[in-house]
Amino acid sequence: MAHYVARIPVSGTRSAAFAYLSRFDRAAEWDPGVEAGEMVTPEPVGVGSRFRLVARFLGRRIPLEYEIVELDHDA
């Protein structure tokens, strides 16, 4: 299973940053390798939420699917 950790300075609250970054359909706004994204399950974001992304890698468009299997707001 992939595990991604990054540190990004933000001016908002920790909970607002977590809510924003947990929406993988917005990944194109903060990940330059992502071209587009969509949430394919109903709101709200939580365990079981799924997302489809399109990434660019070596000039190719790569479809990716993400599912939230664990969500820890207090990490």
Higher local confidence (pLDDT), 55 or 2: 55
Nearest residue to 45 via CA among 63, 28, 74, 21: 21
**% of the chain residues with pLDDT over 90:** 64
Given the DSSP bridges, would you call strands 34-39 and 50-57 parallel, antiparallel or unpaired?
Answer: antiparallel
The pLDDT tens digits for 26-53 are: 999 989 999 999 999 999 999 999 999 9
What pLDDT does 75 receive? 56
Mean pLDDT, to the nearest integer, of 9-22? 87
What mean pLDDT is reported for the chain? 90
Q: Exposed (0-12), middle (13-18) or buried (19+): which is 73, by Cβ within 10 Å?
A: exposed
**Considering the entire predicted model, what is its pTM?**
0.80
- Cα–Cα distance between 17 and 11 in angstroms, integer? 9
